[in-house]
Amino acid sequence: MTDTTTDGVLGHRICPLCEAGCGLEIGRRDGRWLIRGDRLDPFSKGFLCPKGTALGALHEDPDRLRSPVIRRGDDPATATWEPVGWDEAFAEIADRLTAVVAAHGREALAVYVGNPNAHSHENAFFLPGLIRSLGTRHVYSASTVDQMPKHVSSGLLFGDPDAIPVPDLDRTDLLLMLGANPLESNGSLCTAPDFPGRLDALRRRGGRLVVVDPRRTRTATIADTHLAIRPGTDAHLLVGLAHVLLRDDLARPGRLAEWCRDLDHLPAAVAPFTPEAVGAVTGLGADAVETLARDLAAAPTAAVYARIGAHTTRFGSLAAWATDVVNVLTGNLDRPGGAMFTLSGHQSRGSGAGRGFTTGRWTGRVGGAPEVRGELPVAHLAEEILVPGPGQVRALFTVAGNPVLSTPDSARLDHALAGLDLMVSVDPWLNETTRRAHVVLPPPGPLARSHYDIGLAGLAVRNIAKWSPALLPHDGPPEWQILARLTAVIGGEAPDDDGRGVAEALVQARAQRVATKLGLDPAEVREAVRGPARSPADELLDLMLRSGAWGDGFGARADGLSLARLEADHHGLDLGPLVPRLPEVLRTTDGRIDLLPAPIRSDLDRLADDLHRDRAGHLVLVGRRHLRSNNSWLHNVPVLVKGRERCTLQVHPDDATRLGLRDGGRALVRSAVGQLDTPVEVTDEIRPGVVSLPHGWGHDLPGVRLRVAGERPGVNSNVLTDPGSIDPLSGTAELNGIPVEVEAVP
Ligand SMILES: Nc1nc2c(c(=O)[nH]1)N[C@H]1C(S)=C(S)[C@@H](COP(=O)(O)OP(=O)(O)OC[C@H]3O[C@@H](n4cnc5c(=O)[nH]c(N)nc54)[C@H](O)[C@@H]3O)O[C@H]1N2
Ligand SMILES: Nc1nc2c(c(=O)[nH]1)N[C@H]1C(S)=C(S)[C@@H](COP(=O)(O)OP(=O)(O)OC[C@H]3O[C@@H](n4cnc5c(=O)[nH]c(N)nc54)[C@H](O)[C@@H]3O)O[C@H]1N2
Ligand code: SF4
Ligand SMILES: [Mo]
């Protein structure tokens, strides 16, 4: 660990903020942070964005909590926060938890885990145990306001919800991108540092980019074709593309055919989705649909890629499914230049078959939504807290989440949180959500933890392995230990239990599995990953690396991968371009791709009905992202919020004229569940009939301790999202395409 008072390079750190995971070189000069892209990172090659350069400021944010706090007082406006020691914080949690469980049982406990967990191997390893220890079905996460439709589609198609094909950006000839704006977001479910540079390279080598987005985004501006689709109709469009490919005998699945079940039933299933019907509902016209299908069929290689705008809609799972069906029909699934399965350093090859994927093993108490991957829709959390009866939520644990800004009908959720008997938040800030907690447990800042992107390296456009060490020391416990201590307390251990027993049990259990897989002695495997200053999270990572597809197999392959190799080289390793993985990657029971799984088949009827729904006259709301934001939690860093107001309602000039709105004026936006008063930005970058607000704003709730964010709070767009409108297969909320009414505020 390093001294921050002298000038020079402190070391290298993988940026934990977005999915790109850029390598950063972090140093000090004249008492200031100097953060550059790491040119020796073989994957990000020196790229970074303004958020990465602000990592030092984020770490030093004076509002970031340095010790646990306990809330004294119920009204957030007047409550005070008492800094306490860790033992005292856990004692408070244990007392309240004992009371809740005694009175209401474990079904009254709930957990919500947010987005930054996906960027932490500590949390990835320790959260499952914490969730198990709760012994509840009330498990919620940001996945049901995000990528759950893709897990469902991959689960149904390939038998593995984590087998998500990524577009082979660096080799494709045609990229069809729907509902994504990587020039702001840097990509999602497609780990690709310098996404902009990779798109530029695609075009320079003669490839084409087609962007489908109701807004002329920065990404749309560099595209060859921009199709300004009507929100919520990507599934219709994609199924329409499948229709044309099949109708005109353009489908060339090639070697994929032998692995696919139900290829011959597809034409009937997609029959209603004629170019005429789809052209009308999407607003793109039949010719655009026909042309796009032909272009996909004609391209030497092509990849269809869909994200937030296509997934967080009422037909999110169908859109996710149809994406890969088109990739199959054009023969592009699992081939270079198409959509491929990553095999990064920590991943293992499969056996080609498995237990398959099911949902609905239980259903939600209110709303009746099916369980998906052990989770219920976060859109239903407020009602689960508010509606009395057996199983009513009385205690909530949040880990790295801000659902009061990020999930539907958030004003109601905020109100619901106020009535809990216990709320514990593992979070570094007192924000809109954590201000409702009784106890807040802060993890170390971003520069004081080691990093390996377990989830996101597995979605990279090259096979990679990158680990970076903690650069700065930290006074309190690391986050793995906070989670382990919570697990222990929830499991009935004494509040001063240090969590090391929980951690050791995890390491031993994994060592046992690895030993069984490799035919080794469990005790020797466990000892082999021990390091003098290694955390249990890093030991668990080493177990994965050494037993994975690239691993040294604990001595079996001299040049194989281990954490020691990554510890010796903080720039990371490039393991080469993606390689075909069929059929090994499949985990369906019969080892085939299930092209028309039953849940999809019946949901297609709902989609067909929607082709003819009357949409006239309705304004709809969509979201957007900005390069300098990261969901709700970077608005307290001065360099990231300076400049023009960003939380504005974008309106097309035609709509503005009709509604009497003017640029810089204000509008009242109403949905089925809420209303907002927001500044207006008139711009022809948006499709007529569509308005857009970014999410993650609204920092002016009483009791929020974010001094910089509070100066320009913006409004919370999720006050408008309707928890009653979800994608039924995945439980994912409709965040895009929400019907609204807009009027001028005089
Ligand atoms: N309307 C609308 N709503 C959306 C979206 C949209 O496009 N439109 N997008 C959705 C998407 S894709 C997502 S992922 C969700 C995000 O939803 P959430 O995950 O609920 O929200 P975030 O804003 O990411 O909040 C992250 C929280 O983690 C805390 N945090 C930061 N670093 C750490 C850490 O190292 N450890 C811990 N324990 N905590 C940390 C922050 O202080 C913050 O409280 O929002 C969703 N909501
Ligand atoms: N700078 C920055 N980067 C981020 C984040 C951030 O908040 N800020 N968040 C991170 C997270 S958690 C995620 S999940 C990713 C998300 O990354 P992306 O998926 O790229 O998300 P967005 O940038 O919101 O782009 C979604 C686009 O969908 C469009 N859209 C809205 N409705 C529809 C529709 O019905 N159909 C179609 N085709 N398009 C539609 C919107 O206009 C918008 O341009 O970004 C990550 N990176
Ligand atoms: S693109 Fe993402 S990972 Fe790279 S520096 Fe910016 S925030 Fe960090
Ligand atoms: Mo996300």
Closest ligand 3 atom to residue 53 Cα is: 5
Q: Minimal CA–CA distance to 691: which of 722, 669, 676, 712?
A: 669
Per-residue confidence band for 9, with pLDDT thresholds at 50, 70 and 90: confident
State the distance from the centre of ligand 4 to the C-alpha of 146, rounded, in angstroms.
5
Name the percent of the chain lying above pLDDT 70: 99
Report how far ligand 1's centroid is from the alpha carbon of 182 (Å).
18
Predicted confidence band at 1 (pLDDT cuts at 50, 70, 90)?
very low
pLDDT band, very low/low/confident/very high, at 561 (cuts 50, 70, 90): very high
Q: Which atom of ligand 3 is nearest to the CA of 14?
A: 3
pLDDT digit string, tens, across residues 101-142: 999 999 999 999 999 999 999 999 999 999 999 999 999 999
Under the banding of pLDDT at 50, 70 and 90, the label for residue 93 is: very high
The pLDDT score that the predictor gives to residue 67 is 97
Q: How far is the CA of 130 from the centre of ligand 2 (A)?
A: 30
Identify the residue whose C-alpha is closest to ligand 2 atom 31.
309
Query: Token digits for 426?
Result: 């593992």
| Residue 184 Cβ < 6 Å to ligand 1 | no
478-524 pLDDT, tens digit per residue, is 999 999 999 999 999 999 999 999 999 999 999 999 999 999 999 99
Task: Tell me if 623 CB under 6 Å of ligand 1.
Answer: yes
Residue 696 confidence (pLDDT) above 80: yes
> What's the rounded mean pLDDT across residues 339-343?
98
Characterise 135 by phi-psi region: left (phi > 0), alpha (psi -120 to 50), beta (else). Answer: left
pLDDT of the residue at 3: 57
Residue 556 has pLDDT above 60, yes or no: yes
pLDDT in tens, 726-744: 999 999 999 999 999 999 9
**pLDDT tens digits, residue range 392-439?**
999 999 999 999 999 999 999 999 999 999 999 999 999 999 999 999
The yes-or-no verdict on residue 78 having pLDDT over 90 is yes
Count CB neighbours of 354 within 10 A. Answer: 15
Average pLDDT, the chain: 97
What is the pLDDT, as a whole number, of residue 5?
Answer: 65
Buried b (16+ CB within 10 A) or exposed e, 636-654: bbeebbeeeebbbbbbbee
pLDDT at 468: 97
pLDDT tens for each residue of 650-674: 999 999 999 999 999 999 999 999 9
Percent of all residues in the chain with a pLDDT value above 90, rounded to a whole number: 96
On the question of pLDDT at 618 being above 90, the answer is: no
Q: Region 1-24: what's the mean pLDDT?
A: 85
* Alpha helices per DSSP H over 373-478: 381-386, 403-406, 410-417, 454-457
Which atom of ligand 3 lies at the shortest distance from residue 50's CA? Answer: 6
Residue 118, CA atoms < 13 Å, CB-side half-sphere: 22
Residue 475 has pLDDT above 90, yes or no: no
Which ligand has its closest atom nearest to the C-alpha of 426? 1
Q: Does residue 638 have a cis bond before it (omega within 30 degrees)?
A: no
Q: What is the DSSP string of 474-510?
A: -SS--HHHHHHHHHHHHTT--TT--SHHHHHHHHHHH
| Ligand closest to CA 429 | 1
pLDDT band for position 532 (cuts 50, 70, 90): confident
User: Is a pLDDT exceeding 70 seen at residue 615?
Assistant: yes
Determine the Cα–Cα distance for residues 505 and 488; give it in Å rounded to an integer: 11
Whether residue 698 has its Cβ less than 6 Å from ligand 1: no
Give the number of the atom of ligand 3 that is nearest the alpha carbon of residue 186.
1
